[in-house]
Amino acid sequence: MIRLTIDRAREILDAAGDVAVLVVGDLMLDRYLRGSVDRISPEAPVPVVRVAGEGATAGGAANVAANVVALGARCRIVGCVGEDAGADELARELEGLGVETAGLVRVAERPTTVKTRVMAMHQQIVRFDHESDDDVDDRTALRLVAAMESAAEGSRAIVLEDYNKGVLVPSVVRATLERAVAMGVPTIVDPKRWRFFEFTGATVFKPNARELAEAMGEPVRPEDEAWLEEARLRVAAEHLLVTLGAAGMVLQGPDGHVLRIPTVARQVYDVSGAGDTVTAVTAVALAGGATPAEAAVLANHAAAVVVGKSGVHPASYEELLRQVERAAPDNEAHAKP
């Protein structure tokens, strides 16, 4: 049984305030047009949205970075953007959050990934994606590796955040993982299907249940320790952290140690961005000296915070500590050797 007290949670997060986390991966700008619908277009059977406001937030790997700085840690980010207005807007958004953006690699031949959502009465009407999901070319990969090498200096944890948008090609993945090993810092991988088995050697490999099932070619069996151990060995990670939605999480570690972490969410309004939050909090906690088990339990609390909000919003330092305190004395996870 793992019990995370409020004092220990505060100790971990306070230590994280003195460290930097590097996030490498697919950057996005999430743009929103919000309004109301009161009629159908005479031109086609579609709703007419009267736009009342608009805004943009950091998405993809950039949302992981937003979650890192919300907890008080420093964050450096490496990724690919275009030479366009979307890149400028994303850079401004990140800089406004306090994220270090020297690692943004601008490529004229690729657009910045921008996802524009049209919302009416809290419902998404349609989404427009401007993006290229082709792998970056060799020259761009070399620029990304150089940016990573520079940003890694002094970092205490490294995140690889994959959204299948072409940044985490094998050369970038391998260089980043090797750099982390050389520095002796933990790596946290949030994978997607295309290169699920490329991230060998990660400290924490964090798929959700659907992603793991697709990669393994069979349903996830979170109650089966032997199956979880087989999955951990397949991805060649020190720890396998599987998020299970309403069922919480399960952490499979070396030597068959299993930690089952039940959900502590009381209300679920919106699960958008929860996976990014879990990745970020795991990284921040490990950078702050937490064990993988403590990091997973703390990340589970952070997920409870963000799913209780409407829209994509990080969990702040204060919100996370309040959640840990509110959950006591039920704040525990169960380990089985």
Would the CA dihedral through 222, 229, 192, 106 be positive or negative?
positive
Assessment of whether the complete model's pTM goes beyond 0.85: yes
Please give the pLDDT value at position 287: 96
| 122, 155 Cβ separation under 8 angstroms | no
Give pLDDT, residue 269: 45
Closest CA to 75 of 60, 97, 92: 97
How many DSSP H helices and E strands does the chain contain?
A: 10, 15
Whole-angstrom distance, CA of residue 318 vs CA of residue 312 = 17
Tokens at 76, concatenated: 């450096």
- Indicate the DSSP class of residue 113: P
Residue 332: strand, helix, or coil: strand
Strand partners, 78: 24, 103
d(CA 160, CA 139): 20
204-217 pLDDT per residue, tens: 999 999 999 999 99
Tally of CB atoms within 10 A around 169: 18
Residue type, 26: D
Q: Name the 3-class secondary structure at 228.
A: helix
CA angle 79, 15, 265 (to 5 degrees): 75
pLDDT at 237: 97
First-last CA distance in the chain = 11
Close Cβ partners of 148 (under 8 Å, ≥ 6 residues apart): 22, 24, 78, 103, 172, 175, 176, 179
- Rounded distance between C-alpha atoms, residue 261 and residue 4, angstroms: 12
**What pLDDT score was predicted for residue 53?**
92
Q: Which of 18, 30, 276, 330 is catalytic?
A: 276
Please check whether residue 18 is in contact with residue 287, taking contact to mean a CB–CB distance below 8 angstroms. Answer: no
The confidence score (pLDDT) of residue 271 equals 54
Annotated catalytic residue 276 = yes
Which segments in the chain show pLDDT lower than 70?
1, 265-273, 308-312, 328-337
Question: 10 Å Cβ neighbour count for 109?
Answer: 11
- Asked if residues 2 and 294 have their Cβ atoms less than 8 Å apart, the reply is yes
Q: How far apart are CA 327 and CA 22, in angstroms?
A: 30
